[in-house]
Chain A
């Protein structure tokens, strides 16, 4: 049995536990369409069979999975859930299909239904705490082995998408949910097309694979899993709205710019019909990029959001394997277990173990670790510090490379051990290694939007956005070099000691920080006496940071570039010349 089949088998059992009685409920349901309001996108219209999908207990579970995990501890109104996001993703999918059809694209009834259902169910496999628990479950062998299945060799789905896939293609989902729903509409002329809707096709769309044997319908997949898909269109607007971060994503302008165009898939050596953006819609793609950057900067990588996540990480790593959780096995160390509870159950459960209950209470009452240090390139003193910083941070964040992670972890564990020793010396007598967290977020990635978004510059001439204008590279560089930060967190009572101790420990391990690391963590005044006591003086960030001067060689390249355009610039010029003349 393959690792994928094995995982599907285990997840199927969870589906069964949720939906065992559902066929009986379907028999007695009203089978009406439903309308409900959404504060951002207005009315949502659900077809009767979609209502039945929404009513399944496994979908209703999404009401207890907050969209931005623990971000509501920092942005109090960010309590929107995967439930409303999923329903509106379907609404947006419909709007895109309507736009395309109004431009003469022929979409069969059953295909339209498959895309709507795929959009609706695209997040059905979110585990408790959504992306907040991803760091944990994606390291589990059951998912990393399943992700290597040949099935995924072309479409490279994320771990979360693989879980969705397993749910929808499980025998239990078919037997307990999909087949009974189809049966409920048998013989109704309006829903005849449901006979041809295959839940496996829906699952394929969700993982980003072109529907089997339908390269000419690849755009249907793009709507749900592509560079500009309904997931992004909804979550960017929704997260912005509910966190209160103001920005604009003009979806009403984007939708009329969407087209279907023939594009050569060089990897598979075939032509595909893809969802592309007319060049007049580029401004909205730019808005999407900046919206993403803003959300990363202000929400997802906010220090308090990271602090809450680091506490959750600590809890799961330390306690997931213990028999204390409200799941059938009493553990939280498998995908099946993580699918069994939502966040209400996580917080509502009474834990017999005192230390776990204490951690859960800390999360619920927002008793979060505090910043002791903020580490960013600008806070590094010299060449050696930069080189070691880049080396170790690259190792620890490259999660697909266990060898690198091992080496990176060893380095940061040594820093933490030294920091504990110095913190104790400085007066934090009872501090332990688990009290110090070095939080290193994976740098956000914006390149994919530029690489994958296809811009139609003239009929049948599409090029990736990054070749049209590489602004996403500039955003990536800007974001990484000026905004990317990592943190050293400690409990409030030890933050001063840890600020000093971690500062010294990093220095000893080759990374010398300047006082900006303390200033950004609001520790510069509180820690002065500790630094003085141990005769260490942090260097000043205004003077002591490392800025290499351009070398002769670099100046040479600049001069060369001014003289001759790059190959890609020439390519764009040739295309434009072909279309519009000299």
Chain B
């Protein structure tokens, strides 16, 4: 991660960052563990982020209360869909119909298009991140 990217990440709320990444994935599903792993790696590269996301645990059993809570709110807000019956390791996918409104919210927070390049890069990292 470059110094500029670190500075950018410091300015963006965690849930905005996650929302941005998720809408970039479009119809690809992703696992909770993938999200934790991505942010754990980002936290290792930028220690100031580590304290904001608080990802703990060994590989494959990572956990982050702030990220889990963000995912829960996105579930409650129906931005995310989760396959039923609920599997042990939960997989999510953004509702395509919600993407325009989420983009609008991120524009209001001055996250998009300002940090688009960073977010696309992080989404690509999430796409290639495996759970364990």
Contact = CB atoms under 8 A, between A and B. Distances in A.
Interface residues of A, number: 55
A394 B69 contact: yes
B85 interface: yes
Contacts of B4: none
A384 interface: yes
Contacts of A473: 86, 88, 90
Contacts of B97: 383, 548
Contacts, number: 151
Contacts of A406: 13
B81 A551 contact: yes
B96 A551 contact: yes
A352 B40 CA distance: 51
Contact of B105 (A148, A388, A447, A451): A388
Given A266-B59, A391-B77, A407-B109, A467 B15 contact: no
Interface in B47-65: 51-54, 56-61, 63, 65
In this complex, the interface size class of chain B, counting residues with CB under 8 Å from chain A, is 35 or more
A567 interface: yes
A388 B78 CA distance: 11
A403 B11 contact: yes
Given A387-B77, A467-B88, A553-B27, A400 B101 contact: no
B14 to A, nearest CB: 5
B87 A558 contact: no
Interface string A458-469: 000000101100
A294 B79 CA distance: 27
A182 interface: no
A401 interface: yes
B76 A480 contact: yes
Nearest to B106: A391
Interface in A399-423: 400-404, 406-407
Nearest to B99: A387
Contacts of B12: 403
B77 A390 contact: yes
Contact of A387 (B11, B96, B101): B101
Contact of A566 (B63, B76, B87): B87
Nearest to B98: A387
B70 interface: yes
A400 B54 contact: yes
B56 A156 contact: yes
A441 B105 CA distance: 22
A394 B73 contact: yes
A384 B102 CA distance: 8
Given A383-B97, A395-B13, A548 B87 contact: no
A136 to B, nearest CB: 20
A467 to B, nearest CB: 6
Given A391-B15, A445-B65, A554-B83, A400 B102 contact: no
B104 to A, nearest CB: 8
B114 interface: no
Given A398-B66, A445-B68, A386 B86 contact: no
A578 interface: no
A500 B97 CA distance: 30
15 contacts: A156-B54, A383-B78, A388-B105, A390-B74, A400-B66, A401-B15, A406-B13, A445-B65, A473-B90, A480-B72, A481-B75, A550-B81, A551-B96, A558-B83, A566-B88
Interface of A: 148, 156, 265-267, 377, 383-384, 386-391, 393-395, 397-398, 400-404, 406-407, 442-443, 445, 447, 451, 464, 466-467, 470, 473-474, 476-477, 480-481, 484, 546, 548, 550-551, 553-554, 557-558, 561, 566-569
